[in-house]
């Protein structure tokens, strides 16, 4: 598990301020982040992986400033995108999972072994040699998860991982995220996904408006939606 | 190569990629330069034997070779009328054998194996070329073909659903815009997966 700090973090795109003066310490096992479209929640989690650099303040992961040590941080923090199609790089399922282990100084046998274990864990072994782009939406998101988890990151950040999935696949991904031993930070509109989480943060207009236990934060968010 | 790989454990599947590439190049060169009908016939028999050894699905193999037959339907009569039917038959034979050999290579070789072969080939030029980067470029190019194909299909479906019949520009613009967005997202995913240099 990683210890993630946001210290007076702000983000602007031109004249538009997306986040202002965010202070957070993320240390829990499972953390949910909810908020309306355009509230700044995706920008917030992208900063953990260094995909977005804050215009003010700093984000640290285990004491490392993400802006300065992005490569090291990315080895600890895996990122799952909303659309798995954008995350698949290699033509076949097996090759895409193995792709994550490139440049890690592993032998071909080690890569093959770890890839096989990851595919087995996500029920993709029988699709190992199949074209990745022909998988179903749910299977693609499972592949995206397998491709991230094969690198054994300490933290998984998932940006709306169930938005494009049907109810069945959304539940499957949701159950998987609940059982991972890694620290899991999930941005979602599916509130049931984070109901059992240790902590839920509500973002509104670029600021944290509720932060605490899931039931409490979700009640605050529902009240906000009224 | 875009989803054409047919898993297997045959001798041809297990053969080293560089050896397969070398033999493929030599065979295509030999068939292309020889005007002896016996060479083309022998090559055709050899290709059939190789397909039998590889045990690739017949339907997939035919799907690979069929497009060239459509081209030959037009090219052979023209060549026959201009240069004679023997020359036309020889040309058709050469093309079918060459395409079949290339198809056999793609059906029995994974993209990763091809990339590794590329990297081995480029290793002597490491001072000038980053072989790993070239390999990644090739992989991304292959990956992007179905991605762009999906975008085109979705744009055409959206047009049909709206009952419009726009100009080619009305297809090209959304396809280009969406392709650029997809490229941006793919770049971001590569960064997130640690390929940020």
- Distance in Å, alpha carbon of B87 to nearest chain A alpha carbon: 39
In a domain, B116, yes or no: no
Complex ipTM above 0.85? no
The domain boundary, picked from B109, B140, B159, lies at B109
Say if residue B101 is in the same domain as residue B27. yes
User: For B1, which DSSP code?
Assistant: -
**Are the C-beta atoms of residues B40 and B86 closer than 8 Å to each other?**
no
Say if residue B38 is in the same domain as residue B103. yes
The answer to whether residue A86 neighbours chain B at the CB level (below 8 Å) is yes
- Distance in Å, alpha carbon of A133 to nearest chain B alpha carbon: 7
Domains in chain B, number: 2
Say if residue B20 is in the same domain as residue B96. yes
Contacts of A133 in chain B (CB under 8 A): 2-3, 143, 146-147, 150
Q: What is the mean pLDDT of chain B?
A: 85
Say if residue B20 is in the same domain as residue B72. yes
- The pLDDT value recorded for residue B160 is 80
The domain boundary, picked from B76, B109, B142, lies at B109
Say if residue B139 is in the same domain as residue B182. yes
Q: Which two tokens stand for residue B79?
A: 């060549």
What is the domain range of residue B42?
11-109
In a domain, B5, yes or no: no
Does an H or E element contain A207, and which?
strand A207-212
In a domain, B99, yes or no: yes
Collapsed DSSP state (helix, strand, coil) of residue A152: coil
Query: Quick one: pLDDT band at residue B62, thresholds 50, 70, 90?
Result: confident
Say if residue B21 is in the same domain as residue B92. yes
User: For A82, which DSSP code?
Assistant: S
In a domain, B117, yes or no: no
Say if residue B135 is in the same domain as residue B98. no
The domain boundary, picked from B78, B109, B140, lies at B109
Half-sphere exposure of B115 (CA within 13 A, CB side): 21
Model confidence pLDDT, tens digit, residues B73-93: 888 999 888 888 888 998 999
- The pLDDT value recorded for residue B149 is 82
Contacts of B57 in chain A (CB under 8 A): none
Cβ neighbours of residue A161 closer than 8 Å, sequence gap 6 or more: A80, A82, A141, A145, A173, A177, A186, A188
Quick check: B187 pLDDT over 90? no
Cα A20 from chain centroid? 22
Say if residue B130 is in the same domain as residue B105. no
A29-50+71-225 CATH fold: Rossmann fold (3.40.50)
Mean pLDDT in order along chain A per 10 residues (226 residues): 90 88 93 91 92 92 91 90 84 87 82 92 87 84 90 91 82 85 92 91 92 93 88
In a domain, B76, yes or no: yes
Question: Which phi-psi region, left, alpha or beta, contains residue A29 (left: φ > 0; alpha: ψ -120 to 50)?
Answer: alpha
pTM exceeding 0.95 = no
Nearest by CB: B189 against A87, A91, A103: A87
Nearest by CB: A86 against B142, B186, B197: B186
Quick check: B197 pLDDT over 80? no
| Residue found by looking up tokens 């169930």 in the block | A162
CA B44, B117, A112, A95: dihedral to nearest 10 degrees?
Answer: -80
């Amino acid at each position: 598990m990683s210890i993630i700090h946001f210290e007076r973090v702000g983000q602007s795109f031109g004249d538009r301020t997306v986040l202002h003066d965010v202070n957070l310490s993320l240390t829990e096992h499972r953390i949910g982040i909810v908020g309306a479209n355009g509230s700044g929640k995706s920008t917030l989690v992208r900063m953990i992986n260094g995909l977005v650099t804050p215009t003010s303040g700093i984000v640290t992961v285990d004491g490392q400033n993400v802006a300065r040590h992005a490569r090291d941080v990315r080895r600890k923090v895996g990122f799952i995108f909303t659309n798995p199609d954008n995350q698949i790089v290699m033509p076949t399922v097996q090759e895409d999972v193995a792709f994550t282990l490139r440049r890690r100084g592993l032998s071909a046998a080690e890569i093959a072994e770890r890839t096989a274990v990851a595919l087995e864990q996500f029920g993709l072994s029988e699709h190992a040699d199949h074209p990745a782009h022909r998988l179903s939406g749910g299977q693609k998101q499972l592949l995206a998860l397998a491709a991230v988890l094969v690198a054994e990151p300490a933290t998984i950040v998932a940006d709306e991982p169930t938005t494009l999935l049907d109810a069945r696949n959304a539940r499957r991904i949701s159950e998987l995220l609940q059982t991972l031993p890694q620290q899991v930070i999930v941005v979602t509109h599916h509130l049931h996904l984070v109901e059992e989480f240790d902590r839920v943060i509500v973002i509104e207009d670029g600021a944290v408006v509720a932060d605490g236990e899931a039931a409490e934060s979700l009640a605050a968010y529902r009240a906000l939606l009224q | 190569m875009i989803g054409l790989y047919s898993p297997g454990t045959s001798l041809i599947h297990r053969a080293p990629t560089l050896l397969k590439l070398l033999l493929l190049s030599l065979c295509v060169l030999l068939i292309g330069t020889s005007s002896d009908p016996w060479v083309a016939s022998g090559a055709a028999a050899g290709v059939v034997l190789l397909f039998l050894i590889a045990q690739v699905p017949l339907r997939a193999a035919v799907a690979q070779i069929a497009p060239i037959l459509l081209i030959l339907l037009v090219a052979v009569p023209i060549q026959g009328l201009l240069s004679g039917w023997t020359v036309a038959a020889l040309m058709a034979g050469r093309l079918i054998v060459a395409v079949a050999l290339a198809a056999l290579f793609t059906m029995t070789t994974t993209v990763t194996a091809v990339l590794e072969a590329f990297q081995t080939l480029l290793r002597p030029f490491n001072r000038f070329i980053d072989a790993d980067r070239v390999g990644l470029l090739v992989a991304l190019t292959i990956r992007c073909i179905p991605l762009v194909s999906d975008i085109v299909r979705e744009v055409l479906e959206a047009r049909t659903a709206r009952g419009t019949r726009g100009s080619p520009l009305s297809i090209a613009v959304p396809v280009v815009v969406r392709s650029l967005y997809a490229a941006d997202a793919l770049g971001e995913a590569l960064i997130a997966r640690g390929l940020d240099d």
